Amino acid sequence: MAFYSSKTPAKTPTKNVAVEEQALLAEAEKAKGQQEQQQQQQQQGQAKKEKTEYPERLMIYHAGTGKTTFLGTLRFATLLLFAGFGLVLTPHYLKSGAPIQYPLASLACGLIPLLYVGYFTTPFVTFIHLRLPPYARWSTPILQRFAKTAPPNTQIDVTTLSLTGTPRHSSMMLSDLKPTKQRFGMVNFERDTAALNKKRKWWRWKAVGRFNIQEGNEKNCRAGWVWRDVAEGIRARAKAGGGAEGGLVGNGRKTGQ
Protein backbone atom coordinates (compact mmCIF):
# COMPACT_ATOMS: atom_id res chain seq x y z
CA MET A 1 0.00 0.00 0.00
CA ALA A 2 2.85 2.35 0.73
CA PHE A 3 4.31 1.59 -2.69
CA TYR A 4 1.09 2.49 -4.57
CA SER A 5 0.45 5.58 -2.47
CA SER A 6 3.92 6.89 -3.27
CA LYS A 7 3.37 6.47 -7.06
CA THR A 8 -0.09 8.05 -7.29
CA PRO A 9 0.83 11.71 -6.47
CA ALA A 10 3.61 11.67 -9.10
CA LYS A 11 1.11 11.05 -11.97
CA THR A 12 -1.27 13.92 -11.11
CA PRO A 13 0.88 16.88 -12.38
CA THR A 14 1.50 15.12 -15.71
CA LYS A 15 -2.21 14.61 -16.21
CA ASN A 16 -2.98 18.26 -15.43
CA VAL A 17 -0.31 19.44 -17.90
CA ALA A 18 -1.82 17.29 -20.65
CA VAL A 19 -5.27 18.73 -19.99
CA GLU A 20 -3.92 22.30 -20.10
CA GLU A 21 -2.09 21.58 -23.37
CA GLN A 22 -5.29 20.27 -24.92
CA ALA A 23 -7.17 23.37 -23.77
CA LEU A 24 -4.49 25.64 -25.22
CA LEU A 25 -4.55 23.75 -28.51
CA ALA A 26 -8.34 24.07 -28.64
CA GLU A 27 -8.14 27.82 -28.01
CA ALA A 28 -5.42 28.18 -30.65
CA GLU A 29 -7.53 26.30 -33.20
CA LYS A 30 -10.53 28.46 -32.33
CA ALA A 31 -8.51 31.68 -32.70
CA LYS A 32 -7.07 30.43 -35.99
CA GLY A 33 -10.56 29.68 -37.28
CA GLN A 34 -11.80 33.15 -36.31
CA GLN A 35 -8.80 34.75 -38.00
CA GLU A 36 -9.39 32.78 -41.20
CA GLN A 37 -13.07 33.75 -41.11
CA GLN A 38 -12.18 37.43 -40.75
CA GLN A 39 -9.74 37.18 -43.65
CA GLN A 40 -12.41 35.57 -45.81
CA GLN A 41 -14.87 38.33 -44.94
CA GLN A 42 -12.28 40.99 -45.78
CA GLN A 43 -11.53 39.31 -49.10
CA GLN A 44 -15.25 39.12 -49.89
CA GLY A 45 -15.64 42.81 -49.02
CA GLN A 46 -12.73 43.74 -51.25
CA ALA A 47 -14.16 41.63 -54.05
CA LYS A 48 -17.47 43.48 -53.75
CA LYS A 49 -15.69 46.83 -53.86
CA GLU A 50 -13.65 45.81 -56.87
CA LYS A 51 -16.73 44.51 -58.62
CA THR A 52 -17.82 48.00 -59.69
CA GLU A 53 -17.17 48.56 -63.37
CA TYR A 54 -16.45 52.30 -63.18
CA PRO A 55 -14.47 54.41 -60.68
CA GLU A 56 -15.98 57.12 -58.53
CA ARG A 57 -14.16 59.84 -60.51
CA LEU A 58 -14.75 58.88 -64.13
CA MET A 59 -13.00 60.51 -67.09
CA ILE A 60 -15.67 61.40 -69.63
CA TYR A 61 -13.70 63.75 -71.90
CA HIS A 62 -10.14 63.79 -73.22
CA ALA A 63 -9.09 66.31 -75.85
CA GLY A 64 -6.26 64.09 -77.07
CA THR A 65 -2.62 63.76 -76.14
CA GLY A 66 -1.37 65.39 -79.34
CA LYS A 67 -3.51 68.53 -79.01
CA THR A 68 -2.79 68.91 -75.32
CA THR A 69 0.96 68.52 -75.75
CA PHE A 70 1.09 70.91 -78.70
CA LEU A 71 -0.92 73.68 -77.02
CA GLY A 72 0.95 73.30 -73.74
CA THR A 73 4.28 73.59 -75.55
CA LEU A 74 2.99 76.55 -77.59
CA ARG A 75 1.90 78.45 -74.50
CA PHE A 76 5.21 77.86 -72.76
CA ALA A 77 7.12 78.87 -75.91
CA THR A 78 5.25 82.18 -76.18
CA LEU A 79 6.05 82.82 -72.53
CA LEU A 80 9.75 82.31 -73.21
CA LEU A 81 9.45 84.50 -76.31
CA PHE A 82 7.97 87.31 -74.25
CA ALA A 83 10.72 86.93 -71.67
CA GLY A 84 13.38 87.18 -74.37
CA PHE A 85 11.94 90.16 -76.24
CA GLY A 86 10.19 92.02 -73.45
CA LEU A 87 12.54 91.49 -70.52
CA VAL A 88 15.93 91.20 -72.23
CA LEU A 89 16.00 92.84 -75.66
CA THR A 90 13.68 95.78 -74.94
CA PRO A 91 15.63 97.00 -71.86
CA HIS A 92 18.83 96.65 -73.88
CA TYR A 93 17.47 98.98 -76.57
CA LEU A 94 16.35 101.49 -73.95
CA LYS A 95 19.73 101.55 -72.23
CA SER A 96 21.65 101.83 -75.49
CA GLY A 97 19.72 104.93 -76.56
CA ALA A 98 18.31 103.34 -79.73
CA PRO A 99 15.42 105.02 -81.55
CA ILE A 100 12.07 104.51 -79.83
CA GLN A 101 10.72 102.29 -82.61
CA TYR A 102 13.25 99.57 -81.76
CA PRO A 103 12.18 98.94 -78.14
CA LEU A 104 8.51 99.27 -79.14
CA ALA A 105 8.91 96.73 -81.93
CA SER A 106 10.80 94.40 -79.61
CA LEU A 107 8.09 94.64 -76.96
CA ALA A 108 5.37 94.01 -79.57
CA CYS A 109 7.19 90.92 -80.87
CA GLY A 110 7.07 89.40 -77.41
CA LEU A 111 3.69 90.64 -76.24
CA ILE A 112 1.46 90.05 -79.28
CA PRO A 113 2.10 86.27 -79.57
CA LEU A 114 1.61 85.88 -75.81
CA LEU A 115 -1.75 87.68 -75.82
CA TYR A 116 -2.96 86.03 -79.02
CA VAL A 117 -2.14 82.48 -77.96
CA GLY A 118 -3.42 83.10 -74.44
CA TYR A 119 -6.71 84.55 -75.68
CA PHE A 120 -7.54 81.60 -77.90
CA THR A 121 -6.07 78.72 -75.87
CA THR A 122 -7.06 79.63 -72.31
CA PRO A 123 -10.56 78.08 -72.65
CA PHE A 124 -9.16 74.85 -74.14
CA VAL A 125 -10.34 71.89 -72.02
CA THR A 126 -8.06 68.88 -71.79
CA PHE A 127 -9.98 66.62 -69.38
CA ILE A 128 -13.41 66.34 -67.78
CA HIS A 129 -14.06 64.00 -64.85
CA LEU A 130 -17.55 63.17 -63.58
CA ARG A 131 -18.26 62.29 -59.93
CA LEU A 132 -20.45 59.20 -59.98
CA PRO A 133 -22.82 58.08 -57.22
CA PRO A 134 -22.31 54.47 -56.06
CA TYR A 135 -25.28 53.02 -57.94
CA ALA A 136 -24.11 54.45 -61.30
CA ARG A 137 -20.79 52.61 -61.14
CA TRP A 138 -22.04 49.04 -61.33
CA SER A 139 -22.69 48.57 -65.04
CA THR A 140 -22.76 50.34 -68.38
CA PRO A 141 -26.59 50.30 -68.76
CA ILE A 142 -26.99 51.99 -65.37
CA LEU A 143 -24.34 54.55 -66.28
CA GLN A 144 -26.14 55.25 -69.56
CA ARG A 145 -29.38 55.99 -67.73
CA PHE A 146 -27.56 58.20 -65.25
CA ALA A 147 -25.78 60.16 -68.00
CA LYS A 148 -29.08 60.93 -69.74
CA THR A 149 -30.81 62.00 -66.51
CA ALA A 150 -27.89 63.39 -64.49
CA PRO A 151 -29.09 65.73 -61.70
CA PRO A 152 -28.04 69.38 -61.96
CA ASN A 153 -26.05 69.10 -58.71
CA THR A 154 -23.76 66.40 -60.12
CA GLN A 155 -20.15 67.49 -59.67
CA ILE A 156 -17.63 67.61 -62.52
CA ASP A 157 -13.93 68.51 -62.60
CA VAL A 158 -12.78 70.43 -65.68
CA THR A 159 -9.06 70.67 -66.50
CA THR A 160 -7.69 73.50 -68.64
CA LEU A 161 -4.21 74.85 -69.43
CA SER A 162 -2.63 77.59 -67.33
CA LEU A 163 -0.40 80.39 -68.59
CA THR A 164 2.67 78.16 -68.37
CA GLY A 165 0.96 75.18 -70.02
CA THR A 166 0.42 73.25 -66.78
CA PRO A 167 -2.98 71.72 -65.87
CA ARG A 168 -5.49 73.88 -64.04
CA HIS A 169 -8.45 72.21 -62.33
CA SER A 170 -11.92 73.71 -61.83
CA SER A 171 -14.67 71.94 -59.86
CA MET A 172 -18.31 72.81 -60.43
CA MET A 173 -21.82 71.40 -60.75
CA LEU A 174 -23.56 70.65 -64.02
CA SER A 175 -26.02 73.45 -63.32
CA ASP A 176 -23.11 75.94 -63.35
CA LEU A 177 -22.34 75.29 -67.02
CA LYS A 178 -24.26 77.15 -69.70
CA PRO A 179 -23.89 76.79 -73.48
CA THR A 180 -22.63 79.87 -75.27
CA LYS A 181 -20.73 81.04 -78.34
CA GLN A 182 -17.87 83.48 -77.80
CA ARG A 183 -14.42 84.29 -79.16
CA PHE A 184 -15.27 83.28 -82.72
CA GLY A 185 -16.57 79.90 -81.57
CA MET A 186 -13.56 79.11 -79.37
CA VAL A 187 -15.80 79.22 -76.26
CA ASN A 188 -18.90 77.01 -76.21
CA PHE A 189 -19.55 76.69 -72.45
CA GLU A 190 -19.34 79.21 -69.64
CA ARG A 191 -20.11 79.64 -65.95
CA ASP A 192 -20.61 82.62 -63.64
CA THR A 193 -17.46 83.12 -61.55
CA ALA A 194 -18.33 86.44 -59.86
CA ALA A 195 -19.04 84.85 -56.47
CA LEU A 196 -15.89 82.71 -56.63
CA ASN A 197 -13.65 85.64 -57.52
CA LYS A 198 -14.97 87.68 -54.59
CA LYS A 199 -13.85 84.96 -52.18
CA ARG A 200 -10.38 84.64 -53.69
CA LYS A 201 -7.32 86.50 -52.50
CA TRP A 202 -6.25 89.39 -54.69
CA TRP A 203 -2.98 87.67 -55.63
CA ARG A 204 -4.64 84.47 -56.88
CA TRP A 205 -5.66 83.84 -60.48
CA LYS A 206 -9.31 84.42 -61.28
CA ALA A 207 -11.51 81.35 -61.64
CA VAL A 208 -11.88 79.94 -65.14
CA GLY A 209 -15.29 80.85 -66.53
CA ARG A 210 -15.03 80.06 -70.26
CA PHE A 211 -14.44 76.64 -71.76
CA ASN A 212 -13.80 75.19 -75.18
CA ILE A 213 -15.07 71.60 -75.10
CA GLN A 214 -14.66 70.21 -78.58
CA GLU A 215 -16.97 67.64 -80.10
CA GLY A 216 -15.93 64.37 -81.69
CA ASN A 217 -13.50 63.29 -78.96
CA GLU A 218 -15.59 60.38 -77.65
CA LYS A 219 -13.01 57.80 -78.74
CA ASN A 220 -10.17 59.39 -76.78
CA CYS A 221 -11.31 57.80 -73.51
CA ARG A 222 -13.29 54.76 -72.45
CA ALA A 223 -16.41 56.65 -71.32
CA GLY A 224 -16.29 59.50 -73.82
CA TRP A 225 -19.89 58.87 -74.80
CA VAL A 226 -20.98 59.98 -71.31
CA TRP A 227 -20.02 63.59 -71.99
CA ARG A 228 -22.13 63.60 -75.16
CA ASP A 229 -25.23 62.69 -73.15
CA VAL A 230 -24.35 65.07 -70.32
CA ALA A 231 -23.78 67.95 -72.76
CA GLU A 232 -27.18 67.34 -74.35
CA GLY A 233 -28.73 67.56 -70.90
CA ILE A 234 -26.94 70.86 -70.20
CA ARG A 235 -28.18 72.37 -73.47
CA ALA A 236 -31.73 71.13 -72.93
CA ARG A 237 -31.79 72.47 -69.38
CA ALA A 238 -30.51 75.88 -70.52
CA LYS A 239 -33.09 75.98 -73.32
CA ALA A 240 -35.86 75.19 -70.86
CA GLY A 241 -34.58 77.80 -68.41
CA GLY A 242 -33.73 75.27 -65.72
CA GLY A 243 -30.92 75.35 -63.20
CA ALA A 244 -29.90 73.87 -59.90
CA GLU A 245 -33.46 74.30 -58.63
CA GLY A 246 -35.28 74.49 -61.93
CA GLY A 247 -37.02 71.14 -61.61
CA LEU A 248 -35.17 69.73 -64.57
CA VAL A 249 -33.02 66.63 -64.68
CA GLY A 250 -30.61 65.48 -67.35
CA ASN A 251 -31.90 66.11 -70.84
CA GLY A 252 -34.67 68.43 -69.71
CA ARG A 253 -37.16 65.94 -68.29
CA LYS A 254 -39.36 67.55 -65.64
CA THR A 255 -39.24 66.26 -62.10
CA GLY A 256 -41.88 66.51 -59.43
CA GLN A 257 -42.40 70.04 -58.11
User: Could you read off the pLDDT of 123-142 as tens digits, one per residue?
Assistant: 999 999 999 999 999 999 99
Q: Is the pLDDT of residue 172 over 50?
A: yes
pLDDT tens digits for range 56-85: 999 999 999 999 999 999 999 999 999 999
Distance CA 160, CA 181 (A): 18
Higher pLDDT, 200 or 146: 146
**In the chain, % of residues over pLDDT 90:** 58
- Per-residue confidence at 55, pLDDT binned at 50, 70, 90? very high
Is 132 inside a domain boundary? yes
Higher pLDDT, 208 or 254: 208
For 228, the domain range is 57-65+123-248
Is 26 inside a domain boundary? no
Neighbouring residues of 63: CB distance < 8 A, sequence distance ≥ 6:
124, 125, 126, 127, 214, 217, 220
Q: Is the pLDDT of residue 169 over 50?
A: yes
Is 21 inside a domain boundary? no
**In the chain, % of residues over pLDDT 70:** 81
Check: CB of residue 60 under 8 Å from CB of residue 230.
yes
Q: What is the pLDDT of residue 256?
A: 36
Is 166 inside a domain boundary? yes
Q: Is the pLDDT of residue 244 over 60?
A: no
Does the pTM surpass 0.85? The reply is no
Is 226 inside a domain boundary? yes
Q: How many Cα atoms are found within 13 Å in the side-chain-facing hemisphere of 145?
A: 8
Is 244 inside a domain boundary? yes
Domain count, the chain: 1
Q: What is the 3 state secondary structure string of the chain?
A: CHHHHHHHHHHHHHHHHHHHHHHHHHHHHHHHHHHHHHHHHHHHHHHHHHCCCCCCEEEEEECCHHHHHHHHHHHHHHHHHHHHHHHHHHHHHHHHCCCCHHHHHHHHHHHHHHHHHHHHHCCEEEEEEEECCHHHHCCHHHHHHHHHCCCCCCEEEEEEECCCCCEEEEEEEHHHCEEEEEHHHCEEEECCCHHHHHHCCCCCCCCCCEEECCCCCHHHCCCHHHHHHHHHHHHHHHHCCCCCCCCEECCCEECCC
Is 98 inside a domain boundary? no
Q: Annotate 97-117 with b (16+ C-beta within 10 A) or e (fewer).
A: eeeeeebeebbebbbebbeeb
Is 148 inside a domain boundary? yes
Check: CB of residue 106 under 8 Å from CB of residue 89.
yes
